[in-house]
Amino acid sequence: MPQLFRALKAFTGVSLGYYHIYYLLTILQEDTSPPSDALLTKADVVSVIPAIVKGDWVLFHPVYSPEELRAVEVRHREAKTLGDKAASTAVLLARKCFDIISGYKHKPIPPNSKMTIEELRKGGYILDEKQWLARILFLESIAGVPGMVAATLRHLRSLRLMKRDAGWIHTLLEEAENERMHLMTFMTIRKPSIFFRILVLGAQGVFYNAFYFEAGHLPAWKDMPAPEIAKDYWRLNDDAKLLDVIYAVRSDESTHRFVNHSLANLNYKTDINPFALREPDMHVKGTKLGFDRDEAEEYVRASHKLIDKGRETGQH
């Protein structure tokens, strides 16, 4: 082992610290045994791509139909295992901190209330446009971090093991870029101050923000035209409004919810990314928390049946 350390030191020109030793031990402990015959564990399953791929200035991302935009349901996965409960507690703590920093208070509006919007705002029941925008910008500046970190870890693992990643990296990078595009979109409406940028510390989620538009609590945004960057990114109509953008962002967050829950149900050491070839539409992603491992296996098989059928009929 000392000879190995000296050799690596000579090769890299740097001393091997604990970081390098940790990764050497990780390599030795990784399970590199051949995968089973299950389709879900075959890395080359996601190497089949259509012959014609249209280019774009960003990574692949879903473009939603009007029906899909309104197919999202609020769902919650019950924490069962110790890991689930630890993760849930961490998220709730982050949410609490985020609410405090962004000035958000969940104060239910009294039943049969006849208060005006101004009265509701003064009473602390709802936020105004400026407050919501600050909250959105704050969280979107952090929401793009997890996907990038996860993609980096998968990338490094692929390099360490000198084996294919089986489609995970691309999906995780797409999520990170998608969250960044949310930030770029809302920054066309408001430019964050230096003080605001300093306050960007942590929290994620834009999911609940969209539900206040239909009730008329943000009238200034109801008829505001969608930013040009949003029209281009989500392929919105020329007359699209900011409300359409919010629906698209909400659908994106539902996609992340579905994909991440599905990936968490897989074996990251052996299983491929079932969404490397295609993704379900929002009637699935918006109403279901995610695929379990058996459903992911079936989805991969269905994807290959569609590809085979397209080859037979000459379609792509």
Whichever domain contains 80, its CATH number is 1.20.1260.140
Strand partners, 225: 241
In a domain, 235, yes or no: yes
**Which DSSP letter does residue 140 get?**
H
pTM of the model: 0.66
Phi and psi for 102 in degrees, rounded to 5?
-90, 0
In a domain, 2, yes or no: no
For residues 133 and 43, give the distance between their C-alpha atoms in angstroms, rounded to a whole number. Answer: 42
In a domain, 135, yes or no: yes
Domain that holds residue 229: 31-313
In a domain, 91, yes or no: yes
Cβ atoms of 40 and 275 closer than 8 Å = no
Per-residue pLDDT at 13: 40
Cα separations in angstroms, 31 against 214, 268, 270: 51, 11, 9
Encode pLDDT of 207-257 as tens digits.
333 334 444 467 777 788 999 888 888 888 899 988 889 899 999 999 999
In a domain, 44, yes or no: yes
Cβ atoms of 293 and 265 closer than 8 Å = yes
Q: pLDDT below 70 — which residues of the chain? A: 1-39, 42-58, 193-217, 314-316
Per-residue pLDDT at 122: 83
Per-residue pLDDT at 37: 58
Angle 181-284-141 from CA coordinates, rounded to 5°: 20
What domain count does the chain have? 1
For residues 219 and 193, give the distance between their C-alpha atoms in angstroms, rounded to a whole number. Answer: 24
In a domain, 228, yes or no: yes
Spatial neighbors of 118 by CB under 8 A, at least 6 apart, are none
Cβ atoms of 270 and 41 closer than 8 Å = yes
DSSP alpha helix (H) spans, 109-265 = 117-122, 129-161, 168-187, 194-199, 219-222, 228-234, 242-264
Cβ atoms of 262 and 294 closer than 8 Å = no
Per-residue pLDDT at 258: 92
In a domain, 181, yes or no: yes
How many CA atoms lie within 13 Å of 22's alpha carbon, on the beta-carbon side?
4
In a domain, 23, yes or no: no
